Structure 1
Amino acid sequence: MYFCNIPNSYSNYNKHDLYNEYLNYFYQRPNYHYTPYSSDSSYRQSLGVVWHEKEGSWNGEWRRRGDTNIFDAKWTSGGSMVTAILTVHLAGDFVTIQRRNSSDGNNCDYTGTFSHDGKTVSGTYICQGRQYHWNANIYHRDSDVPLGRYWDEHEGSWHGQWQRRGESNIFDARWTKGGSTVTAILEMHLVGNSIHIRRLSSSDGNNCVYQGSITGDGTVSGNYSCGGRTYSWNATIHY
């Protein structure tokens, strides 16, 4: 549902009249359409470098393209993934986001309000005529994202060492048990204290999905699924 004509498209949703009137006003404001940022560094900084977003069972990672208002977004839920391109516009503490080129065909529109410290944002979004809730944590530097340098992990009798690639969300993982070794690449997505991990290119052929929660002391625990079965795992994060 691509809103190429915002006033006409939104006029169909009568139960959102107030919301729609505000959107119509906002989209028709002078200089709304994409223009280069002003020299006000605080305005640029308020968008951060990466947003960790949550909408229902989907965990999103929205990564900003340099100093622009364009984000490359990726959502995961279980073993599923959706990608899209986001265009973000600010008006004080209010934000509107256009989600386009969605791999699932759902081109949606988000609105939200920033917290006073600018570190979180929450609001609603509309997809296919229905309204849902979303929220996100905003990180202004990759180093602020609490993924640490490496993870010391255990799953059953296997001992894992997960080494982070710089300040990215990609880890090189190695597990040992007795004289056996397994290697894989891990792709991590963090929303609040909830972690979602995709295990890819496993040397044993087991590409798995991990879910867990990070505590304040840097420990993690949860479950992972491999080959249709579920197991428990835990780890300590080293910063």
Structure 2
Amino acid sequence: MTDHLLEIQGLSVQFGGVTALSGVDLLVRPQSVHGLIGPNGAGKTTLLNCITRLVRPTAGSIRLAGADLLAAPPHAIAGMGIARTFQNFGLIGELSVLENVMAGMHARHPGGLLEEMLLLGRRNRHERQARARALESLAFTGLSDVADRLVASLPYGMRKAVELARAIAIDPRLLLLDEPTAGLNEAEMERLRRTLRELQRSTDVTILLITHHVEFLLGIADAVTVLDLGRRIAFGDPSLVKTDPQVVAAYIGTEA
């Protein structure tokens, strides 16, 4: 039995002669919010790409609740309970908000929900179930009023919320958020913080998030891991973002 939902040990990634990650360890406790921070080029997004199998590490291990993620095929990752948002939107502008959320839901049920929706005898039932769950997710994120609007017509901050709604619609065990605060104003960041805290209270989800906004991080994270130049330089309480000299030099100093 493990004390951590996500366990990463000795993770290394090389692209040609460039080292993106070098021997990184990461431990994330269940039902926690864990911040992954560092300057640009530190390897943060590469680490998320390894978890979701978009990138194959050159060394190391990744386990989710004890299961070896690197032994699973990439298409099975969502079915294992991992959902993700991206720095750049993965939304379809020509579809409605509701349709975008529903389109992302088949990933949790590869070979199940999507195929059955194509069978005439079961299609209506599964479409109703997917629609109902998508509407719940939109209500949770405060997007019910724009469910029928085209995503392309929405302002930036609202599109970020649609991505979050799509991710949580599959009821993930592990939610990976890549720069969810980027481009948001203070009011939007506060809404996001409240939404994530309520998500924690109402589900068993564990959150791993990348952000450059220190105050947002301090207001939500239970623990942080700090990367710099592909290496882990600190791990622990979020306060180390402001108090650890090595972190301040590598992270805060680069943001000034």
- What's the TM-score once normalised by structure 2's chain length? 0.22
Computing the radius of gyration from Cα coordinates, the structure with the larger value is: 1
The structure carrying a bigger helix percent of its residues is 2
- What's the TM-score once normalised by structure 1's chain length? 0.23
